[in-house]
Each structure stands twice: as C-alpha cells, then as structure tokens.
C-alpha cells in the first residue's frame, strides 16, 4: 500500500507530496478494527483528494470527502484519524447493504457517495482496487489462514494480513483448531510500561491494575464480578488476570516451559498443552495452555475451570489466568477472548 501511494504520480507529477504516503499501517489498523478492505479506502482517498494533496493546505486532514450534514467538510486532528473515520463510514455503508465499490458510489441514499455524479468514479475506483490486488466487489478485509483454514467472521476473505489458524494439542489428547484474528472493534491496546509489554484488551470489560502489578479484568463493565465467598467468578461470567513473570515468580524463569511448570505444577489437576507459536508484528509469540479444575468442596458449589496461558514474546513473559464456572455456555467465547489477548502480546522498550 505504501509503495503504491509513493510510486503513483498525481496530476502527472511524481514529485507532488501526498499526505497519506507512509500511512499504510494506519490503513491496515483501521481495516482490522472495522473488518473493511483497506484497498477500497486507498482508492477512495485517491478519488476524493489525491491522497490528501488537494486538502494539504485546508487544515481539515480530510482526504476522503467526508461531510457534515450541511455539506461542509469534516475536520480531523490528523490524517490517521481521517483514515479511521472513513473506514468506519465504509463499514457503516456495508451494514446498510452495500457490498461493492459500485454500491458505495452508486449515488443512492445509503451509499458512501450519495449525490449525482458519484457513479462516474466507479470504473476508476475499481481499477485502483484491482491494482492493489483486491476485489472491488467485496468490502470485507481479506483474511488467509494457515493450513487453508477460514476466518469465522461474516466478511472473512483471502489475503495475508489478518488471521492465523493454529493447532493446539490440548490435554495431550485432542487437536483444537483455533482461529486467532487480530482484534477488530472488540479490543483496545493497553500498555504496561512498568513491565514492558502491551496487549489488546476486550472493550466493555472491567479492568483494574492491582498493587502487585497484575491486571484484573472481568466481563462486566461494572461489578460485582466475583462471588462474596471464595472470590470466584459469578455465574455466567468470567475473570481474567494478566500477571508478568516478574510478579508471578520472585526468581524470573529462563524459559517458557520453566515458567509454566513452576507455576502450574503446584496444582495436581494441571494438564499441559504442547508449545504453540504464532507470528506477531514484533516477535514470534510462543504459548502453553494449562487446564485446571478447582473447587473448595463446599456444598452445592459449582466447580471452576481455570485455564492458564503462559506466553512469551521476545524476552517478555506473562501468565494469563482465565476463570469461569464449569458448564458455562459461554466458555468457548471466554477461551477465544483469552487467546486473542495472548497472541496480541508485544514487547515494549
């Protein structure tokens, strides 16, 4: 994307500056957040402003022709913000029934461009989307998985940006296929500057940093999250804790296997997976999943399932603790959310 913008002349002059040049990562990040084809946004940016050149001195940072209801141009704090808002606008048009570039620029109500003359741009837009290797008749973000898997989302597609399908040996018995997709609108980046890592946390979950340095989350925006006695999760809810290795152990481990066993061997119910690995943006992420079952023995108490995820990216190691009640029908969703957090791990600093 960056190469395409940088190498394409505008008004026949390759030397003219393009404010959107070098912002390919912003297109990708917005595409991941809204599950929207970034090539379509690149094409719209050229059509509406020659990638910001036509708006370079206007102070709007609006390269996509986005308008107020009165017809005046929206203004953004940065070109990147404009990319995100435009991507959201295309996603909203998708939700209104648009399925192609020609739908977006039909000139009809509900499209991205809804005034007379919009349709004149369709051929040019389609040509540019194809030049970027994408299909102008599909607005979803492309998604190609290893082992010819498919991304289990409505708009899953074919490209190499999005998803990874991993095979995890669970409990030493069965192969679990798990789709791991970079988070879309369901998570937000969070950084622990003290211990030098960042992860993507689910939006809508309560979170609190504990005095120990661990991060506590639960899937209720406002409590209560835990039962009064024992501190376990309330029925139909889950708890997650993120614990840096330096907090979990007074003597930091040298390897991921050492980390997992020193923590989990204390519980005789622990069952270990083999090490799995995915490619992160800054480093490969290795992780081990340990399943435990716990109960205090109280009358009528529902046993709790505890999944421990020990993850490593470069020199950073964390433990993610997922707790929920046995028999919870949302257990698979909890596990998928925990795994999304794990594979979003990035070292900082």
pLDDT digit string, tens, across residues 278-305: 876 567 899 999 998 765 444 446 788 9
**36-45, 150-159, 255-264: the lowest-pLDDT one:** 150-159
Q: Is the pLDDT of residue 149 over 80?
A: no
Domains of the chain, residue spans: 2-131, 164-347
- CATH code, 164-347: 2.60.120.1690
Tokens of 54: 């036509």
* 30 contacts: CB under 8 Å, gap ≥ 6: 36, 38, 41, 83, 84, 86, 87, 88
221 confidence band (pLDDT: 50, 70, 90) = low
pLDDT score for 282: 66
pLDDT score for 280: 66
Tokens of 237: 């809810």
* 288 contacts: CB under 8 Å, gap ≥ 6: 256, 257, 260, 272, 273, 274, 275, 276, 309, 310
pLDDT score for 242: 96
Q: What is the pLDDT of residues 336-346, one digit of tens each?
A: 899 989 999 99
pLDDT score for 224: 64
- Mean pLDDT of the region 220-226: 67
Q: Is the pLDDT of residue 225 over 90?
A: no
pLDDT score for 32: 79
Q: Is the pLDDT of residue 159 over 80?
A: no
142 confidence band (pLDDT: 50, 70, 90) = very low
pLDDT score for 284: 86
Q: What is the pLDDT of residues 101-117, one digit of tens each?
A: 999 999 998 899 988 89
CATH architecture, range 2-131: Orthogonal Bundle (1.10)
Tokens of 255: 């390897």
């Amino acid at each position: 994307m960056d190469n395409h913008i940088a190498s394409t002349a505008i008004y026949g002059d390759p030397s003219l500056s393009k404010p959107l040049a070098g912002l390919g990562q912003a297109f990708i990040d917005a595409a991941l957040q809204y599950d929207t084809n970034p090539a379509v946004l690149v094409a719209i940016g050229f059509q509406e402003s020659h990638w910001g050149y036509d708006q370079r001195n206007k102070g709007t940072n609006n390269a996509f022709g986005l308008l107020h209801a009165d017809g005046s141009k929206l203004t953004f704090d940065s070109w990147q913000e404009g990319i995100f808002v435009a991507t959201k606008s295309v996603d909203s048009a998708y939700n209104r029934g648009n399925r192609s570039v020609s739908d977006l620029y039909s000139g009809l109500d509900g499209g991205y461009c809804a005034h007379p003359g919009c349709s004149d741009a369709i051929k040019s837009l389609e040509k540019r989307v194809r030049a970027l290797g994408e299909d102008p008749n599909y607005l979803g973000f492309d998604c190609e998985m290893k082992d010819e898997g498919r991304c289990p989302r409505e708009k899953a597609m074919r490209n190499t940006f999005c998803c990874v399908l991993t095979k995890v040996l669970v409990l030493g018995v069965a192969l679990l296929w798990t789709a791991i997709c970079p988070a879309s609108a369901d998570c937000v980046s969070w950084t622990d500057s003290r211990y030098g890592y960042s992860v993507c946390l689910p939006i809508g979950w309560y979170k609190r940093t504990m005095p120990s340095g661990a991060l506590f989350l639960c899937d209720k925006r406002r409590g209560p999250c835990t039962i009064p006695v024992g501190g376990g999760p309330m029925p139909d809810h889950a708890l997650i804790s993120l614990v840096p290795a330096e907090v979990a152990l007074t003597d930091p481990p040298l390897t991921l296997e050492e980390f997992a066993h020193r923590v989990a061997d204390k519980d005789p119910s622990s069952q270990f997976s083999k090490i799995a690995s995915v490619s992160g943006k800054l480093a490969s992420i290795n992780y081990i999943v340990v399943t435990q079952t716990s109960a205090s023995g109280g009358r009528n108490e529902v046993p709790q399932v505890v999944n421990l995820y020990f993850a490593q990216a470069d020199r950073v190691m964390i433990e993610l603790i997922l707790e929920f009640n046995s028999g919870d029908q949302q257990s698979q969703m909890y596990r998928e959310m925990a795994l999304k957090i794990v594979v979003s791990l990035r070292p900082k600093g």
